[in-house]
Amino acid sequence: MAHTKSQGKTNQKSNRPGQRLGIKKSSGQKVTVGQIIARQVGSKYHSGLGTKLGKDFTIYAI
């Protein structure tokens, strides 16, 4: 009978790719209808004139 407990398997997680969030167009850049301006989790940035907020909080041009 063993006197010490056996070690568990190490949890080796693979490196996940990023979610590609953030500002896609900066101030002063021209955009066309439907272009994504910002991708975010939650409403960190609020939509203004000429933009709408998608269901995943993506701000896009209208």
According to the model, what pLDDT value does residue 61 have? 98
The whole-number pLDDT of residue 35 equals 98
Q: What is the pLDDT of residue 41?
A: 97
Instruction: Report the distance separating Cα 35 and Cα 62, nearest Å.
Output: 8
Q: Looking at residue 13, what is its pLDDT?
A: 75
Which tens digits make up the pLDDT trace of 1-59? 667 777 766 677 788 899 999 999 999 999 999 999 999 999 999 999 999 999 999 99
Strands (E), the chain: 22-23, 36-39, 51-53, 59-61
The whole-number pLDDT of residue 9 equals 67
Q: Give the model's pLDDT for residue 6.
A: 73
* Opening angle at CA 8, ends 15 and 4, nearest 5: 150
